Structure 1
Amino acid sequence: MSKQFIYHFRDALQLQCRITEKSRIMVALSGGADSVALLHLLKNAGHTCIAAHCNFNLRDAESNEDEAFVTALCQQLNIKLHTISFQTREVAQQRKISIEMAARDLRYQWFEELSNQLNIQYIATGHHGDDAIETFFLNLTRGTGLKGLTGIAWRKGKLIRPLLYASAEEIKQYCRANNLNYRTDSTNSDTTILRNKIRHQIMPLFKEMNPSFFVTMQKNISYLEEACELMTIESKKFQNESIAKEEDTVIIPIQLLKQHPQKQTIAFDILKDYGFSGAQISPIIKSMETIPGKQFLSASHRLVVDRYNLIITPIRPKDETHYVINSDDQTISNPIHLSLTKFQKTNEFKFSKRPDVVHLDADLIDFPLYLRHAESGDRFIPLGMKNFKKLSDFFVDEKCSLIEKENCWLLINGEDIVWVVGRRIDNRYKITPKTKTIIEIKIKTEL
């Protein structure tokens, strides 16, 4: 078994991980059978190995015993060892994430920093085929989409996982055949942890039904990887041809998405990057057939179903500040860029018809002016009208999206809305034959 196992390892290293030359490789060494076997295999294959061990301080004395074990092992194999200690529980509480997620983040962040510091080409972890199958079932229960069902990647950047061809039992057999001692994590038997429940309760049932379950699942994952590649190509094509991005706003045309035969899959592939879950996709798709205005939230973004588009923007606290414009201000840059010019009206004067330039009767203006966002109950008399109109109704008439309404600034004189910036001035402040002095306000696109 040992020779065949080694042949498979070297094939995986070259064909799957694309390591074709002898390299400097840092091994994530936990002390378990998989990482011990990995270190032994890489060293015997002629690679220059460095080991990195994380003490997460999660298992009291066991954690320190693991560190002592890997220290002795590296001394025996004449391999340089780097260690670090983390207060993982405290980090998890501070970041408000699970202990498992905190440990993962801490581990990979340190691996990246250490590999850059030591000029290491590759970081190797001992993930094996059973880990990939467990990840398949984990993601299946979570609804992570097709990508999540592809298990664990052989290579991602400088991170490589050459043992994905092997089962956990095959790795232990290799260790026994080569007299390699290893540590066993006592928490691996805790079935309150979902991964352990899958490992000890779910997978044995499948193996009972199909003795070749491991091989079958490796083939299934391989097929899913190819299907995922096809989906990714189609999704990128849709995004390149159909989606618009304006600064931090993403605009997805509803009609084009509705017409796509794989709209659910395409939508999930796009929206997952903005924190939306698989469970939100069907409601979002259904909402495209209903009255506009429906909102969906992820931890970081908001999606608004507008008349013609899905609009995705980052979630930000509402800006309730009133920004002051004084009489001697000629330009302002916060919250928007405006220029202000005051001049005497002449017979040749023609008032602006452009939405980004307005002319106001200066004698009706009482500085300071203010800029603020819309508030409930706002109303004004739009240019050309005689009666007040609710600002909310004006926005409806203008076919403004929810995002546009929330981002719109109002120029305020006393209690009056003088200008719905970029859209309409109040009729009371227009230029008339009686106007003597004019204030021109212009939206500046550049500083």
Structure 2
Amino acid sequence: MKVVLQKHIHQNLSFLKDKNLLIAISGGIDSTVLADLFYQLNFSISLAHCNFMLRGKESKKDEQFVKELGDKLKIPTFIIQFETKKYALENGISTQMAARDLRYNWFQKITQQNNIDFILTAHQKDDVIETFIINLTRGTGLDGLTGIPEINGNIIRPLLPFDRNDILIYATKNKLQWREDQSNSSLRYVRNKIRHKIVPVLKELNPSLLDTFQNTLENLKESKQIIKDCIQNVKQKVITTHNNEMHFNISELKKLSNPKIYLYELLKEYGFTAWNDVDDLLNAQSGKQLLSKTHRLLKDRAVLILTNLSNTEESGVFEIKENTSKITFPIQLEFEKIEIPFDTKKHQNKIFNELISTETNTISIDFNKLTYPLILRKKRKGDYFYPIGLGGKKKISKFFKDQKLSLIDKENMWLLCSDNDIIWIVGKRLDDRFKVSKSTSTILKIKL
């Protein structure tokens, strides 16, 4: 097994050479063999063990076993204890999911703090088929049927070419000690039911199950690649990017043979799960939206707009004190105070030059008409202003509509105010009440 693994690393995982590796070790046979193999192959390794405190004294004995192994091999060993059940309860997830979250989050923290390049886990062939069956019974797409990836970011699974029997033979031959987790024999857990009840029957029907199953996985992966290529072509026709938004062209989506399936492939990485509702957005009224934990999908006229939730929740009120020269949050504004000399002709010429400026990102206003602190905020119901050149007042909502702003553009628009009066729809239109005039003695120039 050692020779086969060395060859596999040379052919497929050569990037591990001369890297610092963190081995996730429970104390069970798989992870103990993984640690021994990489130690024997002279890699730079450390051990990381999580005590989830789920099995009382047995969990403590697992922890002690790993500590003693690290001492014996004279390699760095990281150990942590988690209140797993409490974490699961607080986050409304299963104990197994809680353990997974806690484990991988901690592993990543260790790598960042200790100059470690890759995390190695001891998944092997039997784990792959068990995971396949679990996903199959729960319902899944191709992603759930293509096995456990050997490389997933900085997480590497070098034992996937081997099965449980290979590992047992190696451990026995090399007289390794390991910890037996008694819960692995309990049929309370879905994976154990599959391991002890289903897989043995499948192996009885086909003694070469693991090898033929590997061929099936390869076929599925090739099919998945075809789909990825197809989706990439669709993306080029359907998706455009605007600042931090992704726009999905509805008319182009409707031309596809099955828009719902394509929407699944296009949006699955953003946390959406209610695919019937996502499909219904294509024919919904503007303003209809769906939320995942991280993103929002909004119907706006001829497009679906995808945004990060963190970009849509920013709606605070910000004060700008007198004599401020610049702000950088929530938007960048520069302020310049200009005194007008007491010379009527120069005065009028300067005012005229300011007024004829067509740059929407810069305004000049009468400083003496302002009440500090100025306020920067988002639109509120009933807001109105007096657009320069209109000769009357107009609701902000009507102005936005006339400007044909998208729903998200409206949300992202900032208003600069003096007291309760709107000075400027930032980047769009100045209020007539604050414009410079012949009587202006001090100008405040504001640049976006």
TM-score (norm 1): 0.76
Residue 62 (structure 1) shift: 0.5
- Partner residue in 2 for 1:346: 348
Q: 1:86 pairs with 58, 78, 81, which one? A: 81
Task: From the superposition, tell whether residues 321 and 140 of structure 1 become closer, same or farther in structure 2 (CA, over 3 Å).
Answer: farther
Residue 358 (structure 1) shift: 3.4
Residue 31 (structure 1) shift: 2.2
Q: Where does 1:37-56 land on structure 2 (aligned, <5 Å)?
A: 37-42=33-38, 51-56=47-52
The reply on whether 1:392 has 2:397 as its aligned counterpart is: yes
Contact 1:418/1:429, CA 8 A, preserved across alignment: yes
- Partner residue in 1 for 2:147: 151
Residue 154 (structure 1) shift: 1.9
Contact 2:436/2:443, CA 8 A, preserved across alignment: no
User: Unaligned stretches of 5+ in structure 1?
Assistant: none
The reply on whether 1:320 has 2:320 as its aligned counterpart is: no
Count how many residue pairs are aligned between Structure 1 and Structure 2. 433
Task: From the superposition, tell whether residues 266 and 364 of structure 1 become closer, same or farther in structure 2 (CA, over 3 Å).
Answer: same
Give, in whole Å, the separation in 2 of the partners of 1:150 and 1:296. Answer: 29
Task: From the superposition, tell whether residues 362 and 197 of structure 1 become closer, same or farther in structure 2 (CA, over 3 Å).
Answer: same
Task: From the superposition, tell whether residues 117 and 303 of structure 1 become closer, same or farther in structure 2 (CA, over 3 Å).
Answer: closer
- Partner residue in 2 for 1:244: 241
The reply on whether 1:64 has 2:66 as its aligned counterpart is: no
The reply on whether 1:30 has 2:26 as its aligned counterpart is: yes
The reply on whether 1:406 has 2:411 as its aligned counterpart is: yes
Give, in whole Å, the separation in 2 of the partners of 1:42 and 1:329. Answer: 61
Residue 224 (structure 1) shift: 2.7
Task: From the superposition, tell whether residues 441 and 355 of structure 1 become closer, same or farther in structure 2 (CA, over 3 Å).
Answer: farther
Task: From the superposition, tell whether residues 368 and 151 of structure 1 become closer, same or farther in structure 2 (CA, over 3 Å).
Answer: same
The reply on whether 1:311 has 2:306 as its aligned counterpart is: yes
Task: From the superposition, tell whether residues 427 and 191 of structure 1 become closer, same or farther in structure 2 (CA, over 3 Å).
Answer: farther
Residue 54 (structure 1) shift: 3.4
Residue 130 (structure 1) shift: 2.0
Residue 61 (structure 1) shift: 0.6
Task: From the superposition, tell whether residues 335 and 123 of structure 1 become closer, same or farther in structure 2 (CA, over 3 Å).
Answer: closer
TM-score (norm 2): 0.76
- Note the alpha carbon deviations across 1:384-425, whole angstroms, 9 max, x for none: 545544322322222212222122122334433333222223
- Partner residue in 1 for 2:183: 187
State the one-letter code of the partner of 1:412. Answer: C
Give, in whole Å, the separation in 2 of the partners of 1:60 and 1:185. Answer: 12
- Partner residue in 2 for 1:437: 440
Residue 175 (structure 1) shift: 3.8
Q: Where does 1:352-431 land on structure 2 (aligned, <5 Å)?
A: 352-360=357-365, 365-366=370-371, 368-385=373-390, 388-429=393-434
- Partner residue in 2 for 1:297: 291
- Partner residue in 2 for 1:254: 249
Give, in whole Å, the separation in 2 of the partners of 1:442 and 1:129. Answer: 68
Give the secondary-structure state (helix, strand or coil) at the position aligned to 2:348: coil
User: Unaligned stretches of 5+ in structure 2?
Assistant: 341-346
Contact 1:325/1:367, CA 8 A, preserved across alignment: yes
Contact 1:57/1:88, CA 8 A, preserved across alignment: yes
Give, in whole Å, the separation in 2 of the partners of 1:106 and 1:307. Answer: 43
State the one-letter code of the partner of 1:15. Answer: Q
Task: From the superposition, tell whether residues 62 and 293 of structure 1 become closer, same or farther in structure 2 (CA, over 3 Å).
Answer: same
Give, in whole Å, the separation in 2 of the partners of 1:297 and 1:357. Answer: 36
Per mean C-alpha deviation after superposition, the further-off stretch among 411-420 and 126-135 is 411-420
Q: 1:165 pairs with 143, 158, 161, which one? A: 161
Task: From the superposition, tell whether residues 136 and 343 of structure 1 become closer, same or farther in structure 2 (CA, over 3 Å).
Answer: farther
